[in-house]
Structure 1
Amino acid sequence: MPDNALRELLLPAIDAAGRPGKAAESALRDAIRSGRLPAHTRLPSSRDLAAQLGLARGTVMAFYAQLVAEGYLFAERGSGTRVAPLADTSETPAAPPPSAPSWRYDLKPGLPALGAFPRAEWLAAERDALNSLPDNGLGYPDPAGLHELRVELASYLGRVRALPTTPDDVVITSGAAEALSLLSTVLHQRGARRIAVEDPSHLGQADLLASHGLEPVGVPVDEDGIDIGQLTDPGCGSVLVTAAHQFPLGMALHPSRRRALLSWAERTGGLVIEDDYDAEHRYDRPALGAIRALDPARVAYLGSVSKVLIPALRIGWLVLPPDLREAVVRTKHWHDLGCAPLPQAALARMLRSGGYDRHLRRTRRLYRQRRDALLDALATALPGWRPVGIAAGLHVVVRLPDGTDDTEVHRALAARGIHAPALSGYAHSAAGRPFPGLVLGYAASSPDRLRAAVAEMAEVTGR
């Protein structure tokens, strides 16, 4: 923007106010809200604007920082401070648009702190991997995955998840999504047409299963996890569970339910698919061993690095019963000839060197701080909203007062650029709506951003 344009915009408000810093902050906020400052407009540096307005540089830095925290501005190294895109508030949309919008506050669950990814350590591991791989390691890979990564993962899962595993049990995949796709394909080839899923649960997974010819059948969840007594559909020969940290409600599967689940599998010849999506992230409870450790012949286990490192790496794994492994590897071969060896080799080095564990310890502390900031903000600004499932994971469910329409709350927040998914949006049936709620991810947002989001949520809902 022209050097003096922002000065002309802000000076009238400053001249008329007793607190020029607050007046400038308010005027700048109003200009962004009204559209007079379009999205991505570059603002002057704090030094330049301070000189133009006759203010202390610290004052300008303070209100820039406040507007960044509120989502009106964003700052990027080398690009200066710019106006952030805001959601259209002219009308309340029926639902968020299908393409990824630019949310002012994105509290969707499932994302780790992308900025915490150990870039230098990963680059060093990739350089070492590239230097160490023999020439024949640069050809088409083993579709089951790089052997050295399968060795390290078997060791890691045994140590961290109490899961006795050999490298031959493991198949490397392009994320957990491909792991579930490969397994679904094999099950469909063997005649499966329906699969039991927790209700509520991840609807993206349900859509993935349906796209591979498996109809998801919801089984209700209560405070002890999935109710196996209601798994009565004889056409369901497999069941997908998030036993360590149910998604989205957050409870761990009770020991009696674990036994009931394995008894069902033994009695029916069924398969348990254990999605261990974020079991490493726990704060107020001890680690729980994986179900597969109790019955490796009837449990397929899947995981990925998406919640510990970043989703962009697209590295996941399946630990399979012997009667499924060959078919899954064959399907993987025809699907993409195997995952790229170089990222696999880099991950193997991070596991072997302890870098993966060190990163996990760092982020566990970080996420606990962010969780606590969110809980404190909710307790202060929205005391009638009760957090549920807070002991582990990267998100919390907030129980809204009885009688609240969580879809309407979601829509009202979306209209202000706040992405806070409704709990009812994860239900497969009426039984999957235990109470009105919101599912709030906190791992990808700083404490200041979380506090600012909650303050605005209180303003929107009038609480």
Structure 2
Amino acid sequence: MTDSWSTSGTDLHLEVRGPKLRQGLTDALREAARTGRLAPGTRLPSSRSLAADLGIARNTVADAYAELVAEGWLTARQGSGTRVARRSEPRRTAPGTARTRPARGRPAYNLLPGSPDLASFPRAEWLKAARRALDAAPHEAFGYGDARGRVELRTVLADYLARARGVHADPERIVICSGFVHGLMLMGKVLRQRRVREVAVESYGLDEHRDVLTEAGLRIPALPFDELGTDPAGLGEGGLRGVGAVLMTPAHQFPVGMPLHPDRRTAAVDWARRTGGLILEDDYDGEFRYDRRPVGALQGLDPERVVHMGTASKSLAPGLRLAWMVLPQSLVGEVLAAKGGVEWTSSSLDQLTLAEFIASGAYDRHVRGMRLRYRRRRDHLVRQLAEHAPGVRVSGIAAGLHAVLELPPGTEQSAVRAAAWHGLAVEPMGRFRHVDAPPRGDALVVGYATPPDSAWSGALDALCRSLA
């Protein structure tokens, strides 16, 4: 039976380092759990007891426990106390022993792209922001609000987007949405009302986004793609003659993983100016660049021709259902009419909480912390693949929450099957190809941000074994 700290008298010899006690305690406990020095199932002392032992404030211990529970290292249940989480470890087999296939059903490890590490959601800081926001909320915040969204959120977003992404943002031109897809639905409706018939899309992207535009009655021709990224040179010619808008991911093309070349950025904006067209800029993970400062938003080149679309889904969590559009002045009224005249879709309290979270600096701190964590994961992925699967190449820039693993020709589907055999959920590159686009080389698209810290090592080990 696993010892309980409170009854065994075990001294854990925690080294709480650094000037910030809470972070030092969190790091020390995480390391003890990660290395096995704190065995799974070990019961930790109450926050009051540990605080007394260490001579620190009880809230410091409680916050550290809460963060590690959120990350998946600890569990906390009424009547059972706080314990080290039981984590599934890869079963080691003797040399020459055949591996058994994992049981069918839910994969053991989720490496699908498109999600942050949900276990790292900053619950404690978010709760503090929610309390402050609720205390300060005016009575009218509990009614039907402005269709643009809460002015408090739009105001802090205007400042943040200008500072972090180079966006020219006026709070009056920002509209809050219930996720990126909701914003795209609104834009599809507005474009149809403007008698636009075609919205060009990238050769590789999400079916869900293409479906939204198709369901709005828009045709979606594919733009060419090469080593410089999406090529807008053919807009206005041949099969692209009738295009009235373009949907792009300029900072970090999804899923291929490269930024749009500066010449292509200029060419796209020139096309929009020349023809009166619009560019829908999907800036889904622009804050996460690891080798240099993030590329600025395309909207900065022409705020009257580019609709900047951002979201909290990658930086915080998709479950918040909070996104935003920074619109050209000429579009504001039409988008608000399409939305319905009042705020039906996004909770006012969630908007106020996000506004407080950003204004307090907690959002910046969280993004900085996750940027470091994801960079380390990507570096770890590159090193392990180089050692254990040298025939696989990681392509794309050091950015975002996913990586592209280039495979030998003709092996994409077999690699997906091998991954499934090892209990992994991954996506083949072909899943993102536009039906009219030429195929690229075989590759897997791997979401290295998706697993919690406690599952990352096992997921990476399984991935390397599946590709070896």
TM-score, normalising length: structure 2: 0.77
Contact 1:407 1:424 (C-alpha < 8 Å) held by counterparts: no
Contact 1:272 1:299 (C-alpha < 8 Å) held by counterparts: yes
Aligned to 2:296: 289
Aligned to 1:374: 381
Instruction: Give the counterpart letter for 2:121 in structure 1.
Output: F
Aligned to 2:367: 360
Aligned to 1:170: 174
Instruction: Give the counterpart letter for 1:452 in structure 2.
Output: G
Instruction: Give the counterpart letter for 1:263 in structure 2.
Output: D
Measured in 2, the distance between the counterparts of 1:62 and 1:177 equals 45
Contact 1:141 1:339 (C-alpha < 8 Å) held by counterparts: no
Are positions 1:148 and 2:152 aligned together?
yes
Name the Cα RMSD after superposition.
2.9
Aligned to 2:283: 276
Are positions 1:316 and 2:323 aligned together?
yes
Aligned to 2:165: 161
Instruction: Give the counterpart letter for 1:134 in structure 2.
Output: P
Are positions 1:445 and 2:451 aligned together?
yes
| Structure 2 gaps, min length 5 | 5-32, 41-71, 90-99
Contact 1:143 1:339 (C-alpha < 8 Å) held by counterparts: no
Instruction: Give the counterpart letter for 1:417 in structure 2.
Output: G
Deviation at 1:432, TM superposition (A): 4.7
Aligned to 1:393: 400
| Structure 1 gaps, min length 5 | 1-44, 49-57, 66-72, 93-100
Total equivalences in the alignment: 390
Contact 2:288 2:294 (C-alpha < 8 Å) held by counterparts: no
Aligned to 1:186: 190
Are positions 1:419 and 2:425 aligned together?
yes
Deviates more, 1:132-141 or 1:403-412: 403-412
Secondary structure at the aligned position of 1:372 is classed as: helix
Aligned to 1:25: none
Contact 1:370 1:445 (C-alpha < 8 Å) held by counterparts: no
One of 307, 311, 325 as aligned partner of 1:304: 311
Using a 3 Å threshold, how does the CA distance of structure 1 residues 382 and 440 change in structure 2: closer, same or farther? Answer: same
Are positions 1:262 and 2:250 aligned together?
no
Instruction: Give the counterpart letter for 1:240 in structure 2.
Output: L
Using a 3 Å threshold, how does the CA distance of structure 1 residues 460 and 409 change in structure 2: closer, same or farther? Answer: same
Deviation at 1:107, TM superposition (A): 0.7
Aligned to 2:64: none
Aligned to 2:227: 223
Contact 2:222 2:436 (C-alpha < 8 Å) held by counterparts: no
Secondary structure at the aligned position of 1:192 is classed as: coil
Contact 2:118 2:452 (C-alpha < 8 Å) held by counterparts: no
Contact 1:140 1:337 (C-alpha < 8 Å) held by counterparts: yes
Deviation at 1:179, TM superposition (A): 0.9
Deviates more, 1:363-372 or 1:285-294: 285-294
Using a 3 Å threshold, how does the CA distance of structure 1 residues 379 and 46 change in structure 2: closer, same or farther? Answer: farther
Using a 3 Å threshold, how does the CA distance of structure 1 residues 47 and 105 change in structure 2: closer, same or farther? Answer: same
TM-score, normalising length: structure 1: 0.78
Measured in 1, the distance between the counterparts of 2:187 and 2:333 equals 11
Q: Write the deviation string for residues 116-144 of structure 1: whole angstroms up to 9, x where unpaired.
A: 11111111111111111121221111111
Using a 3 Å threshold, how does the CA distance of structure 1 residues 447 and 230 change in structure 2: closer, same or farther? Answer: farther
Using a 3 Å threshold, how does the CA distance of structure 1 residues 432 and 349 change in structure 2: closer, same or farther? Answer: farther
Using a 3 Å threshold, how does the CA distance of structure 1 residues 356 and 74 change in structure 2: closer, same or farther? Answer: closer
Deviation at 1:298, TM superposition (A): 0.8
Aligned to 2:334: 327
Contact 2:176 2:324 (C-alpha < 8 Å) held by counterparts: yes
Measured in 2, the distance between the counterparts of 1:128 and 1:106 equals 35
